[in-house]
Every structure is written in C-alpha cells, then in structure tokens.
Amino acid sequence: MDSLLGKSFYIKTYGCQMNVYDSEKVAAMLQNEGMVQTEEHQTADVIILNTCHIRDRARHKVYTELGFLKKNKEKRLKDGKCCVIAVGGCVAQAEGGEIFKNAPFVDVVFGTQTYHQLPAMLDQAVQYSYKKSWQRNVLTNRKKEQVINIDFTSENKMDYMPMFRSIDGSEFLAIQEGCNKFCTYCVVPYTRGMEVSRPADLVLKEARAMADAGIKSITLLGQNVNAYRGLAPGAAGPGEETWNFSRLLYAVAEIPGVERIFYTSSHPLNVDLDLMKAHAEIPALIPFVHLPIQSGSNDVLRKMNRKHTAEEYIDIIEKFREYTPHIAFASDFIVGFPGETEKNFEETLALVEKVRFAQAFSFKYSRRPGTAAYNMVDQIDEAVKVERLRILQDLLQQHQIHFNKQSIGQVVPVAFQKHGKFQNQVIGKSKYMQSVVVSNINPAEFLHSIRLIKIKGATLSSLEGVVEQSAQLQSA
Ligand code: 5AD
Ligand code: SF4
C-alpha cells in the first residue's frame, strides 16, 4: 500500500477499554504499513476516530469533534496537504453511511469487525485525495470516493491483527467480543455483534508475547469475559473441545512473567464455581471483580432483560467472599430506566448498602435507537434521573472513599504503568485497581514493575504512596 508509506496518522479513542485495545491494534497495523503515529491531529495526513455509541452523549461527542476536524481539514487542504478522515468503531457500526450524510467531509467509515481492512480502505482514500475532483468536492455533499465497510465478516479480524506493539502500549488483551444477552437498553449486541471467543492458543500466544516484552500485569478484555468458550489449544475447529473462562485463567497464570491478571467485564449469569475457585487458587488473579448489576430492583431487572434477580446477585457476591474473603467488587448502574419508581430506586440503594462496592460506574439511562427499551412507555424525566444519579453516586462514593482509606498504613504491591502529571511521578494500580501515585522518584525505575508501596493517603479517586524502604528491592 504505497500511498500510505511515510504518511502520518492520528487516532483518537472514545469509550471502553475494548476500543483502546482496538486502537492499539489499528495503530500497530498502520505502522506496519510504514505510517507514522502522531499525537497532534493538526499535523496528521490521516485522522481516525474510534467511536463509542453506548449513550447518546458519547455519540454526540463524535459529531462535535467532527465539526472541529472539518475546520482542520479546510486549513490543511488550503495548504495543499493531505487530510483523510476515517470514522470507525461503534458509531460507525450503528450509523454506517448516515455519517457521510451528516459529515460529508468524512472519507472512510469502518465497523467494529472490519478494522483489519482499514489499511486497504485508507490506501484507497489517500489515492482519491490526490484527484482534482476530490479536492473540489471534499467538503461538500459528495457521493463518490467515500469508502465504507461495516460488514460483519465471517473472518475473525483478530486473526489478522499484529500481536503486540510495545511495552509502552496498553496491557489489554481481548479474549472475547460481542454479546448475546440483549439487555433492553444496550446497543452492544448490535454494534459489536454476537459473542465470539478467540481460540485459547491465540490468547496464550499474545499473553506470552506481552510477558516476554516485560508486561507483568495483563487485563483480559471482553464484553462478557466469563462467557468465554474458546477452542482449546490443538482443537481443529467448530465442534471440537473448548475451554471455559477459568480454564483460560489458569493457563494465562502459568505463563512465566505474568504476575497479575485482571479481567473485565463479567456477567452474573456466567459466574460459576470454577471462577470462584480460580480466585481462591490463582495467586496472580487479583481479588477484584467488575460485576455489573445495573439495578437493585427485580422489576427493573426484569424489564432490562437481565435474567437474574437482585437476590441471586447477592448470593454470587457472598459465595465469592466465602472462597476469597478479601475480594472486592465493582459494578455498573443505570438510574431512570423506563418505569423505575421511587421504590425501585430505593431497592438499588439498599443493594448498594448491602454489597458495599469498592468502585462503581453509574449512568442516567440513555434511550438508544434500535434497542427494545427505546419504545417503552414511562420514560423517566431528566430531572428525576439527575437527582437519582446524584443520590446514588453520593452513596457509592462514600463507600469508595471508605474502602480506599482502609489502605492507609498498609504496604501493598503496586503495578506501575505510566508517568504521573508531574516529573518524577508515577501512577500504578493496586490489586484492587485503585490508582496509586508515587512522587519524587525516578520513573524509569518504576515503570513496568510491581513494587511494594506504603500507602500514606487516600481520596475518592486515588491513593498516595511512598516506597517502603525495607522492601525497596522486592517485587510482589
Ligand atoms: N444508558 C445508560 N447506560 C448504559 N449502559 C449501557 N447502555 C446504556 C444506556 N442505554 C451502561 C451499563 C453498562 C455500561 C457499559 O454502560 O451500565 O454496564
Ligand atoms: Fe450490553 Fe447487557 Fe450485553 Fe452487557 S450483557 S454488553 S449490558 S447487552
């Protein structure tokens, strides 16, 4: 793909960790084509937005950004420079060619399952960009010379992806994608497709490549990781032996160099005894589970099509705690789902009081076109949603601060991944995925290692620590 050689690209990622992982793969692929990544869109020949569609606000952000990018494109074209704009990910999957109607200056639309074809699509778009007609029409409504592919192809894009870029890249490893559960509020089954698990040998190969590069802490990713059913190593194809999620966890934990494993996101319906035992038996598996419940009301859970009750969820939590007493939980909540009464909302607060989450993400319900809940009667007033979210977040935050403060005075292993805001500062993760900030050190000594840190302070969002002198050279 000669036209891409030496061209620069900028990639902006919205939404979840799966998108971060996808962007990393796209960037690696484009580098393999001889392109150069830049951190500034103003200087990029190709601009890629990897988008999120989960709530209306996320979609909105993309169109706001495209408004800015139009101005940038006008300027670059005036200066005689290349400026190809590609929109990919979940908004692209959901809206397809509509994006060209709303933003005619966009050149490429690619879906969540076609990004392995992006180099070929960009190659075509960059070649078009040299044509006089393209330069005349590019900012206005045009029909020709736009490239789109949002198919759900039979080939698995992950089989075409470069393995792993560098130790400074992300620590995410996708093991599974898509969802068959069709919660009535959620676009994921439409934007990501049905559940597909990567074969275990591919997952293990990527995990080994990461460990060999010095990554000690790996986050296994998927929309429903514990629904994992990948082909067992050596299995020839469909119908052959598969591994469940726990089996995969044991195998990843055996890889030399893998010291810490986290996974997200999991689903209550797919939690089994094997997973609870895995937490008790695998030292590298951190005692922290992200297990979304969405609501504490059985009425709402039924309308959401969650297929489990609040009591069943609490049973799961209690069982996990029997196997691993120090385990902690995170969850996701939606307030203001259609028909949610004050009593239903109070049931959510009661569940939160009972479980006491270490961390949580909470959202106002957002009506998504194409989902079953979109047309439900009894949509809740915005003001009520705002108030319920405030009350819920207040409570969740109290618990989170309380949980964080329990760490003060303890010496804990922290996995360091990135520089802090200030020089001589690093940020890492505790085994409960709390951010831990350590200052006045030499970052090079800390990055990509797991060190024992004494926790001195705690806020809602992070812990502050210092190197524990007596444990300075140990890793945990
Ligand atoms: N409105 C609000 N929140 C949503 N989520 C998914 N769909 C919606 C929606 N329509 C939330 C859920 C999910 C998280 C990833 O996003 O809590 O677990
Ligand atoms: Fe969406 Fe429900 Fe699937 Fe999670 S389980 S991705 S909320 S449909």
pLDDT in tens, 403-426: 999 999 999 999 998 899 998 999
Q: Is the pLDDT of residue 35 over 80?
A: yes
* pLDDT of the residue at 210: 93
Q: What is the sign, positive or negative, of the torsion defined by CA atoms of 10, 209, 212, 243? A: positive
- The CATH architecture one would assign to domain 8-149 is 3-Layer(aba) Sandwich (3.40)
Mean pLDDT of 30-35: 94
Closest-CA residue, ligand 1 atom 13, reads 332
Question: What atom of ligand 2 comes closest to residue 189's alpha carbon?
Answer: 8
* pLDDT of the residue at 2: 78
* pLDDT of the residue at 246: 98
pLDDT in tens, 240-290: 899 999 999 999 999 999 999 999 999 999 999 999 999 999 999 999 999
Give the amino acid at 271. Answer: V
pLDDT in tens, 176-231: 999 999 999 999 999 999 999 999 999 999 999 999 999 999 999 999 999 999 99
Contact between residue 192 and residue 151 where contact means Cβ atoms under 8 Å apart: no
- Name all residues whose Cβ lies below 6 A of ligand 2: 179, 181-183, 186, 188-189, 223-224, 267
- The rounded distance, in Å, linking the Cα atoms of 134 and 426 is 47
* pLDDT of the residue at 141: 60
Length of the chain as a residue count: 476
* pLDDT of the residue at 307: 97
- Give every strand in the sheet of 147-149, ordered side by side: 36-37, 8-13, 46-51, 84-89, 108-110, 147-149
Mean pLDDT of 326-338: 98
Distance 266 CA to ligand 2 centre (A): 10
Mean pLDDT of 326-354: 98
pLDDT in tens, 296-311: 999 999 999 999 999 9
* pLDDT of the residue at 140: 67
Superfamily per CATH, domain 157-405: tm_1862 like domain (3.80.30.20)
Mean pLDDT of 345-365: 98
Mutating to test ligand 1, I would choose from 191, 223, 334 the residue with most ligand atoms within 8 A of its C-beta, which is 334
- The rounded distance, in Å, linking the Cα atoms of 329 and 49 is 32
Domain boundaries, given as residue ranges, for the chain: 8-149, 157-405, 411-467
pLDDT in tens, 122-176: 999 988 888 777 776 677 666 678 889 998 876 777 777 777 777 766 799 999 9
pTM of the model: 0.93
Q: What is the sign, positive or negative, of the torsion defined by CA atoms of 219, 290, 260, 315? A: negative
* pLDDT of the residue at 132: 72
pLDDT in tens, 45-72: 999 999 999 999 999 999 999 999 999 9
Question: What atom of ligand 2 comes closest to residue 182's alpha carbon?
Answer: 8
Whether 293 lines ligand 1, by a CB cut-off of 6 Å, is no
* pLDDT of the residue at 154: 67
Measured from the Cβ of residue 409, the count of other Cβ atoms closer than 10 Å reads 9
Distance 183 CA to ligand 2 centre (A): 5
Distance 32 CA to ligand 2 centre (A): 34
For residue 265, whether the previous peptide bond is cis, meaning omega lies within 30 degrees of 0, is: yes
* pLDDT of the residue at 162: 78
Q: What is the DSSP letter of 170?
A: -
Measured from the Cβ of residue 451, the count of other Cβ atoms closer than 10 Å reads 25
DSSP string, 302-337: HHTT--S-HHHHHHHHHHHHHH-TT-EEEEEEEES-
Contacts of residue 203, Cβ cutoff 8 Å, sequence gap at least 6: 173, 175, 220, 230, 248, 252
What is 411-467's CATH number? 2.40.50.140
Tell me the pLDDT of the chain averaged across its residues: 93
* pLDDT of the residue at 129: 84
Whether 334 lines ligand 1, by a CB cut-off of 6 Å, is yes
pLDDT in tens, 429-476: 999 999 999 999 999 999 999 999 999 999 999 999 999 765 544 443
Q: Is the pLDDT of residue 355 over 50?
A: yes
